[in-house]
Structure 1
Amino acid sequence: MAPAANRLQSRLAAGSRRLQLSALPIAQCAVAAGLAWFVASDVIGHARPFFAPIAAVISLGVSLGSRLRRVAELVVGVSLGVLIGDLLISVIGSGTWQIMLVVALAMAAAVFTDGATLLVAQAGASAVLVATLLPPGGAGGFDRCIDALIGGALGLLVAAVLPSDPVAPVRRESRTLLDELAAVLSDTAAALRKRDAEAASAALARARASQPLIDELRAALRGGHEVTRVSPMLRRHRRVLRPYEELAKRADYAMRNTRVLVRRTYTALCDDEPAAPELADVLSELATAVRAITAQLGRDGDRVLAREPVIDVVRHARALAGTFEPGPSEVVIVAQARSIALDLLQATGMSRPEALAAMRGDPDED
C-alpha cells in the first residue's frame, strides 16, 4: 500500500505544481471569454456570439506563444470559413456532400493563403459551423467575423492588463536545461572513471534527448518577449530577458559540444583506449561549474560569480595536458571540455575575445 500511496501523492503534487504554473493563464482565458461574450452579445447585440469567447480562449491559450500571430490567424481563418460557407450553403443548401465541399474549399483557401495550422483549422471549423448552425444567406456570417475579431482583441487586452510573468518561465526552462547539461557531464565523468561503456552509452542517449529542452527554452523566450510587447507595464523586463537569449544560444552550443565529448568517451571505452583518470575529474568540475551558473540565475551580478569555476576547469585541463602524452580520444575530450568552457563563459555575459583571454589567463581580462 505504501508504494501506491507514494505514487498517488507524487501525482497529486505534480498536478498541483502544474495547476499553480497555469493558474494565471487559466484566469486570463476565463476573464477574456466572459468579456468577449458580454461585448458581442450585450454591447454589440449579436445573437449567440459563440465565436467571440472561442476566439478569446484560442488567442490566449494556456501557455505563452505567438499570440499576435494566433489572433491574426484566428480572424482570417474564421473569416475565410464563414465567407466560403455562407456563400456556398446559400446556393447549394446543407447536407453531407455540401459540408464536405465547403470544408474542403475553406481549408484549401486557407492553405493557399498562409498554410498556418491554426488558420487552416479555424477555416474548416468555421465552415462546418456555418453549414450546420447558421441560416444561409443571412447576416450571420459577417457577425461571426466581428465576433472573432472581438474575441481576439479582448484576449490581447486581457493579456496586457493581467500579464503573465515574462521572466519566470525563461528562468525555469534555463535551469532545467543547465541541470540536464550538468547531469550529462557528471554521468560521463562517472562512466570514464569506472570505464563503463554502458554508462557512457546511457549518457550519450541522454545528451541526444536534450533537444526538446532547448526548444522549450527558446519558446519561453519568445513568449516572454511577446508579453513585454503586449503589456506596456512589463516592457522594462526586456533588459532582463536579453542575457537569457545569449544563455540559450550558448547552452545549446555547450550541449552540442557535450554530445561530441560523450560520443568520443563512449568510443574510447568501447575500443579500450587509455584515458587518464584525471579527465573524469575535469568533467566533474565542469558539471560543478554549470551548476554554479544555474545557482546564479536571477541573482544580482548577472552570473559573473559563476565565471571563476569555469576558468578553474580550464586551468586544471591545461595543467593536466602537461603531465602525459594524450592519445587521440584524450585530445578530443580535452578540446571539447575547453569548447564547453568557452560556451559557458559566454553564457555568463562575456564576449568571445574576453572569454578566450580569461581562459588564457590574461590578467587584464576579468
Structure 2
Amino acid sequence: MHEAAEEPESKASFRDLGSQGVQRLPSVLRVRVRRLWLSLVPIAQCAIAAGLAWFVAFDLLHHARPFFAPIAAVVSLGLSLARRWRRSAELIVGVSIGILVGDLVVTQIGSGAWQITVVVAAAMALAVFVDGGPMLPTQAASSAVLIATLLPPGGAASYQRAVDALVGGCIGLLVGALVPVNPARRARRDAAGILNTLRDLSHDLAEALRARDEDAVYRVLAAARGTQPAVDGLRADILAGREVGTLSPLYWASRDRLRKIAATADPIDNAVRNFRVVTRRALGLTQRGVAVEEPMIDIIEDIGGLFETLRAMMLAEPGQPPDPADAAREVRSVVRRARTSLADHVEDLSEAALLVELRSLLVDLLMVAGLKRSSAIAQLHLNK
C-alpha cells in the first residue's frame, strides 16, 4: 500500500508547510482550496487535451472550425477520473449518431422548430437503442441540434465532424495516460480520511456514553451518516486508479499496490456501516437511561485507536511502520478484550447486542488490516 519510492525530504517539507498554511485558512475557504488542489491535474489534462485536439484537427487535418475536437477531448476527460474509457466511447458514438440523424433528417425536412423536435427525438431514441449509457443520448441530441440549427448538413463537413469527435476522444485518453494522476495516492488519501473521521467519532461516542449525553450520541450518529459520500469517493478513485494503471505505462508497476488498496474498500465501507449500527444501538441505550458498562466504553475508545493505526498504515511510507501486520496485531489485542463474557452481567439485552456489533466491527478492521473474512471471524471465535 506504499508508493514506489519515498518522496525527497525537501518536497515533503514543502508540502507540509503548504498544508499548515491551508489549515490556518477559514473553513469555508479551506474546503475550496482543497477542492481546487485535488482538481489541478484533471484541469491540466483537460486544457492540454483541448489544445492538442484543436491542433490535430485544424492544423494537421485542415478541418474548418473543428470545435467538436476540443469539446470531445474535454468531455472525455472531465474532472472525474473514473470511467474515462466509457465516457470517451459514449461521446464518440453519441456525436456520430447525432451527426448521422441530423444530416439525414434535416436534408429531408429542413430546419425549424418542429424539425428540431423530430431530430432530437430520433437521435435520442437511436442512442438509447444502441446503448443505455447516460452520456450517449445527450451527446447525440446535442450534435443533432447543432446540425439542425448552426451547421450545414451533408457533404465533407459531416464526415469531418465525426472525425473531430474521434480525434478529441482519443487525444483525451492519450493525455490521461501520459499526464496521469497517481493511481494509488488518491485512493490511499481517501481511505485515510474515512478512517480519520471514524477515529474521531469513536472517541466522541465514548465520551458521550460516559456522560450519558443523548444529544452528543445523536451528533455522532449524524456525522457517521454523513460519511457515505467519502466512501463513494474512495470507490470512484479506486476505479479511476485501475483505469490509469491500465492506460498509463508510467503506473503499470502500481497495479499490485492498487489492488491491495482496492481490497480494503469493502471492509472500510462495512466498518462505516457497522459503526453507524453501534451508534444507533448506543443512542437507544442512552435514550432509555441505561448506563453502558465502562469496559464496553473502553472497547469503543480502543477502537478509535485502531482507526488511527489503520489510517497511519494507509499513509505510511515504504518500510515505515505501521504495516498491515502491525495493524492486525493491534486489532487482535482489542479482540481479546472484547470477549462475549463482558455481557454476562449486563441488565439490558441491548447492551449485549452492542457488544455483538462491536465484535462485528472488529472483524471489518481485521479485514482492513489484510486478513481474509474467514480468518478475521476465526479470531473472534478464538476469543469468545
Q: TM-score normalised to the size of structure 1? A: 0.91
Aligned-pair CA distance for 1:358: 4.2
Instruction: Determine which of 122, 127, 143 is the counterpart of 2:160.
Output: 143
Q: For structure 2, which runs of at least 5 residues remain unmatched after alignment?
A: 1-22
Answer whether contact 2:313 2:324 (CA < 8 A) is retained: yes
2:332 to 311, 322, 326: 311
Aligned equivalents of 2:29, 2:378: Cα separation in 1: 50
What is the CA distance between 1:108 and its match in structure 2?
A: 1.9
**Aligned partners of 1:85 and 1:131 also within 8 Å:** yes
For 1:326 and 1:291, the matched residues in 2 are separated by 32
Cα 1:256/1:15, change in 2 over 3 Å: closer
Q: Is the contact made by 2:99 and 2:147 (CA closer than 8 Å) also made in structure 1?
A: yes
1:50 equivalent in structure 2: 67
What is the deviation of 1:286?
0.5
1:71-220 matched pairs, under 5 angstroms: 71-220=88-237
Which deviates more from structure 2 when the two are superposed, residues 191-200 or residues 283-292? 191-200
Question: Which sits farther off after the overlay, 95-104 or 202-211?
Answer: 202-211
Does the 8 Å CA contact 1:35/1:154 hold for their aligned counterparts?
A: yes
Structure 2 partner of 1:3: none
Deviation at 1:13, TM superposition (A): 4.3
Q: 1:13 to 1:353 in 2, by over 3 A?
A: closer
Contact 2:192 2:315 in 1 (8 A): no
Equivalent residue of 1:65, what SS? Answer: coil
When residues 33 and 96 of structure 1 are mapped into structure 2, their CA distance, relative to the original with a 3 A threshold, is: same
The answer (yes or no) to whether the contact 1:89–1:131 under 8 Å persists in 2 is: yes
Given that 2:328 and 2:370 are in contact with CA atoms closer than 8 Å, whether structure 1 keeps it comes out as: no
CA distance in 1: counterparts of 2:90 and 2:333, whole angstroms: 51
Amino acid at match of 1:216: G
CA contact under 8 A between 1:278 and 1:320: conserved in structure 2?
A: no
Instruction: Name the Cα RMSD after superposition.
Output: 2.2
Q: How far 1:241 moved relative to its partner?
A: 0.9
Q: Deviations over 1:294-314 (max 9, x none)?
A: 011142464322223322222
Structure 1, unpaired ranges of 5+: 1-5
State the match for 1:251 in structure 2: 268
Contact residue 296 and residue 342 of structure 2 kept, 8 A: no
**In the superposition, relative to structure 1, how do residues 287 and 8 fare at CA in structure 2: closer, same or farther (>3 Å)?**
closer
Seq. identity, %: 46
Structure 1 residue matching 2:229: 3-state secondary structure: helix
- Equivalent-residue separation in structure 2 for 1:8 and 1:222 (angstroms): 32
**Conserved? CA contact 1:274–1:327, under 8 Å:** no
- Alpha-carbon deviation of 1:139? 2.3
Change in Cα spacing, 1:199 to 1:76, as seen in structure 2 (3 Å) is same
Q: More deviation in 254-263 or 71-80?
A: 254-263
1:30 aligns with one of 47, 65, 71? 47
Aligned to 2:253: 236
Write out per-residue CA displacement over residues 28-55 of structure 1, whole angstroms, 9 at most, x where no aligned residue: 1111111111111121121111000000
- Alpha-carbon distance between aligned partners in 1 of 2:353 and 2:25, rounded to the nearest angstrom: 46
CA distance in 2, matches of 1:93, 1:29: 36
8 Å contact from structure 2 (residues 212, 291) kept in 1:
no
Deviation at 1:323, TM superposition (A): 7.3
CA contact (8 A) 2:343 2:355 kept: no
Cα 1:138/1:159, change in 2 over 3 Å? same
The 2-side partners of 1:44 and 1:220 are apart by: 36
Q: 1:326 to 1:341 in 2, by over 3 A?
A: farther
Higher relative CO (Cα under 8 Å, sequence separation at least 6) belongs to 2
